[in-house]
């Protein structure tokens, strides 16, 4: 249809642009301009106090030799791997569980969703009580004989990262569950009934019906899980500050710390660009692998 065909009286050529104008201004000022600035900053030395100087590729070569950068990258990847079962696999099982039509199921869904609506700060504080040396977790594990000695999870270089993964995963699980629930409700129940008649057990129905039909939703959850994990920050800020011994120093936290604790804006921006490229790369890769089955933008 030609452009003019739907232009009615009262609509001038600039009308659509006027409607979009506030959004476009905000896009320009708070997204496009900063994005360009981020790229500029990455080739500068800038400590906020003195004027910026040109750094060439310094910030990027520095990264190659910076052990903390590699450590933070490794931690981010470990974070991402650790979150996979918590946000891609378990929520699917939860969704199957809360998709049953039993009285009161809405209340359970709401309770599972509760951590999603509370702030990460509050969640971090709450879990510090759970992880306490004399806290509930240590008590349960020792009572069941799984531990001899209580562990100080957040002060232990081995346990701190898994502990944070658990907290972040726990907080978002309900959100992913709802994504899957939306998908499950598109599957006709007749499929399951037919399978039952054929004598298929619960596990077979899950593997042969649920998982294949849920593939697009699993792809979406996976993409979101990757983007979420790479951006984890607040839990680390509240609970460990990247410690102990950099055990929970993720790329996102290192960037923040370089910029706002050490005022190395150029270096932090260069690392930010690496994070950016990684995230886009992962999203594109995932899209390719799933052949664009994703249903959510």
Q: How far apart are CA 247 and CA 236, in angstroms?
A: 11
Q: At what angle do helices 265-289 and 215-230 cross, to 10 degrees?
A: 170
Ramachandran area for residue 180 (φ above 0: left; ψ -120 to 50: alpha; else beta): alpha
Smallest distance, Å, CB 212 to other proteins?
18
Segments in the chain forming alpha helices (H): 15-27, 33-41, 58-65, 67-84, 90-98, 105-117, 120-130, 136-143, 160-184, 189-197, 202-205, 211-213, 215-230, 234-239, 251-260, 265-289
Smallest distance, Å, CB 252 to other proteins?
4
Q: Which is nearer to other proteins, 160 or 167 (CB)?
A: 167
Q: Which is nearer to other proteins, 4 or 64 (CB)?
A: 4
Q: Which is nearer to other proteins, 161 or 180 (CB)?
A: 180
Q: Which is nearer to other proteins, 160 or 230 (CB)?
A: 230
Q: Which is nearer to other proteins, 138 or 246 (CB)?
A: 138
* Beta pairing partners, 53: 45
Q: How far apart are CA 134 and CA 137, in angstroms?
A: 8
Smallest distance, Å, CB 99 to other proteins?
11
- Cis ω before 12 (30° cut-off from 0): no
Q: Which is nearer to other proteins, 180 or 247 (CB)?
A: 180
54: phi then psi, degrees, rounded to nearest 5: -70, 135
Contact yes or no for 265/190 (Cβ under 8 A): no
Smallest distance, Å, CB 245 to other proteins?
21
CB atoms within 10 A of CB 24: 12
Contact yes or no for 279/287 (Cβ under 8 A): no
Smallest distance, Å, CB 253 to other proteins?
8
Where b means 16+ CB within 10 Å and e means fewer, 56-78 reads eebbbebbeeeeebebbbebbeb
Smallest distance, Å, CB 248 to other proteins?
15
Smallest distance, Å, CB 114 to other proteins?
6
Contact yes or no for 55/43 (Cβ under 8 A): yes
Q: Which is nearer to other proteins, 122 or 194 (CB)?
A: 122
Distance of CA 84 to the CA centre of its chain: 10
Q: Which is nearer to other proteins, 247 or 250 (CB)?
A: 250
Smallest distance, Å, CB 74 to other proteins?
17
């Amino acid at each position: 249809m030609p452009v003019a065909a739907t232009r009615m009286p009262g609509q001038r050529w600039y009308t659509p642009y006027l409607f979009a104008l506030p959004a476009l201004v905000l896009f320009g000022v708070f997204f496009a301009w900063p994005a360009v600035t981020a790229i500029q900053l990455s080739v500068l030395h800038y400590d906020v106090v003195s004027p910026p100087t040109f750094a060439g590729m310094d910030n990027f070569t520095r990264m190659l030799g910076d052990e903390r950068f590699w450590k933070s990258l490794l931690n981010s990847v470990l974070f991402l791997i650790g979150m996979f079962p918590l946000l891609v696999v378990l929520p699917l099982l939860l969704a199957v569980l809360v998709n049953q039509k039993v009285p009161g199921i809405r209340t359970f869904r709401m309770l599972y969703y509760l951590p999603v609506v509370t702030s990460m700060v509050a969640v971090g504080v709450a879990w510090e009580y759970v992880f306490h040396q004399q806290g509930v977790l240590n008590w349960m594990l020792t009572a069941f004989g799984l531990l001899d000695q209580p562990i100080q999870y957040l002060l232990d270089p081995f346990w701190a990262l898994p502990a944070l993964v658990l907290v972040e995963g726990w907080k978002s699980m309900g959100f992913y569950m709802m994504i899957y629930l939306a998908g499950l409700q598109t599957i006709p129940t007749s499929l399951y009934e037919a399978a039952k008649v054929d004598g298929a057990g619960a596990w077979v129905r899950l593997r042969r019906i649920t998982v294949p039909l849920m593939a697009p939703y699993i792809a979406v959850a996976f993409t979101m899980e990757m983007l979420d994990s790479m951006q984890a920050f607040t839990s680390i800020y509240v609970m460990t500050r990247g410690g102990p011994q950099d055990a929970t120093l993720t790329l996102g936290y290192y960037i923040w710390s370089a910029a706002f604790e050490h005022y190395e804006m150029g270096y932090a921006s260069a690392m930010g660009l690496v994070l950016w490229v990684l995230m886009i790369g992962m999203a594109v890769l995932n899209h390719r692998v799933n052949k664009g089955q994703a249903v959510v933008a």
